[in-house]
Chains A and B, each alone.
Chain A
């Protein structure tokens, strides 16, 4: 059974802190790993990772994939209250684009 596990399930940090979110996976066929941010609406795309060790960056967010150890991390530096959201990790399972999502990590950034 394909499985994507995110940790922690939730965390509370202060503005300016650095946050590290984890996503581990056990799937039969791996094609890519994706990160999404979800505020009180639809998920919005952050990153897609296909190769190990290559960091993707967008502003204060960065992500990296380890295909040997089967996990990815998402880092958020200098957090702001606008970073408060659920962060979702998903793995593409096949050529049809089917995604297996983790349960998400709820991040709350306090002023």
Chain B
């Protein structure tokens, strides 16, 4: 257990609504990441953070924004959800800094109708 929780764990929403997913860590790690997982694609990086208020885009950032106002929380927001954003979302932390193994939260299954 890497001390990572995600909320909600499941969510069903409608196209066009805003959605915020939360990742919370208890171990004060600097690096946090958001991924989405879809069949046939493995995991793809959406956004990452290297400190409070320090964030950057990943491979599939269109339609997503993030915020990190506290070390322990990393929020992922879908400004206007689309059906193509139906996916499983995983948050990850890197315990020993960038370039080292990442540990994943339990995931959030999001369905956009």
A contacts, CB < 8 Å to B: 4, 31-32, 34, 41-45, 48, 88, 90, 92, 94-104
Contacts and interface: CB of A to CB of B under 8 A. Distances in A.
Given A88-B42, A102-B42, A97 B107 contact: no
Contact of B104 (A42, A94, A96): A42
A99 B45 contact: yes
Contacts of B107: 41-42
A32 B102 CA distance: 12
Interface residues of B, number: 26
Given A96-B31, A97-B97, A98-B45, 5 more contacts: A45-B101, A97-B31, A98-B33, A102-B42, A103-B42
A99 B106 contact: no
Contact of B43 (A41, A45, A92, A99): A99
16 contacts: A41-B106, A41-B107, A42-B106, A43-B104, A88-B43, A90-B42, A90-B43, A96-B31, A96-B56, A96-B98, A97-B31, A97-B33, A97-B97, A99-B33, A101-B42, A103-B41
Nearest to A104: B42
Give the interface centre of B50, B56, B101, B107 by most chain A CB atoms within 10 Å: B101
A103 B39 CA distance: 8
A48 B97 CA distance: 14
Closest CB pairs A-B (n = 4): A97-B98, A101-B42, A42-B104, A101-B43
Contacts of B103: 45
B50 to A, nearest CB: 6
Contacts of A96: 31, 48, 50, 56, 98
